Amino acid sequence: MTIGRSLHVELVHATLEQQPILANLLQLYCYDFSESLDIEVGQDGKFPYESLPLYWIEPHWHPFLVTVNGVPAGFALVKRAATSTDFKTIWDMAEFFIVRRYRRRGIGTRIAKEVFKQLWGCWEVRVMSSNHSGLHFWEHAIKAFVGQSVPSVHITRDGEDWQLFSFGSSVKK
């Protein structure tokens, strides 16, 4: 997809060879959240994210890479929610990130919509209650996809307060 005249944005299912790229982008993502979450830098100077390799092993985990003009610019990590059953698939937007340079240009919303189209079924998007810009982004992106506002509900998970958006996607491409 092309945004404006000069930005070619692409969403691809990340290959195993692209795992190091996602690992690098995850460092930026964790750094952004280190202000509000208790995330410690490891002895190696990196933020830990041990479950990243599982996105290429687990059958219902999907790593997506975002590029802008061929350069890595973000990612979406999606997995089947623990609450899913054989009768109802619930997709969890586990992590979503667009590098700061490309924020507030509509790229995140377009990418979120593309991810929702890739995996049909019920969706859950959790946002930390304290992440006001994230809440605003997801309210807008989900409304743009669904066509109407989707109210969030407050939940507590692992001692953190979250807003949870639930909605459905019946589009699969």
| Range 2-12 burial, b when 16+ CB lie within 10 A, else e | eeeeeeebebe
The percentage of residues in the chain with a pLDDT greater than 90, rounded to a whole number, is 57
Distance between CA atoms of residues 68 and 83, nearest Å: 34
Phi first, then psi: what are they for 38, rounded to 5°? Answer: -85, 75
Distance between CA atoms of residues 15 and 18, nearest Å: 5
pLDDT digits (tens, 9 = 90+) for 98-145: 998 998 888 999 999 999 999 888 999 999 888 888 999 999 999 999
Range of the domain at 9: 2-169
Helix pair 107-118, 132-146: axis angle to 10 deg = 60
Q: Which amino acid is at 115?
A: V
State the CATH number of the domain containing residue 161.
3.40.630.30
Q: What integer pLDDT is reported at residue 115 of this predicted model?
A: 95
The H-assigned helical ranges of the chain are 19-33, 107-118, 132-146
Q: What integer pLDDT is reported at residue 83 of this predicted model?
A: 64
Distance between CA atoms of residues 72 and 46, nearest Å: 19
Would you say 142 and 165 are in contact if contact means Cβ atoms under 8 Å apart? yes
Residue 150, CA atoms < 13 Å, CB-side half-sphere? 23
Q: How many domains does the chain have?
A: 1
3-state secondary structure of 15: coil
Low-confidence ranges of the chain (pLDDT < 70): 1-5, 34, 36-38, 83-88, 171-173
Distance between CA atoms of residues 173 and 166, nearest Å: 21
